[in-house]
Homo-oligomer: A and B are copies of this chain.
Amino acid sequence: MAQDHQDTTHQGMGGIGAGKGSSDQAALLSNQLCFSIYSAAHLFNRTYKPLLDRLGLTYPQYLVMLVLWSGDGLTVKAIGEQLDLDSGTLTPLLKRLEAAGLVSRQRDPQNERLVRVTLTGAGRALRDHLGTVQEAILCATGLNLDGLKALKTQVDELRAGLAANLGPADRDD
């Protein structure tokens, strides 16, 4: 397979093995890249699971705790904006964190539409285990500082591209 690059003309050619230019190869690669990301997310989740099980958290719950550790008393919407999650996901998740005694949820008296999420003492105390978890994850990646930086930079570029494509063209007919 030839490795000719920088082709940006991919218009209206259907079919996979049609023997076209390099855009077919790029299209196939984008497919494979998506699966690699999908698979890596699952592998990360499995890596986190035994660590977070000891804290009684799932990975999405851990993400919410990270947000609250860096800024307590946020609304559901504010948490959702940082994590890109909506109330349909967060409301039941926060209820579980509340049932676990890690946060409290109460309506803002100034604006009854808002629900403010506040850490309890137990929620704040869990932060002591953060370092241990992060160290274990770092070790599991098998990457060094440079590798981590390079990969995160590229993934964030990809995220920006995908988000830009979703934003202006989020229409269906």
Contacts and interface: CB of A to CB of B under 8 A. Distances in A.
Majority-rule SS of A interface residues: helix
B6 A135 contact: no
A63 B38 CA distance: 11
B33 A1 contact: no
A50 B111 CA distance: 36
Interface residues of A, number: 91
Contacts of A27: 131, 134-135, 137-138
Interface of A: 1, 3, 5-8, 10, 13-19, 22-48, 50, 53, 59, 63, 66, 69-71, 84, 121, 124, 127-132, 134-135, 137-152, 154-166, 171-172
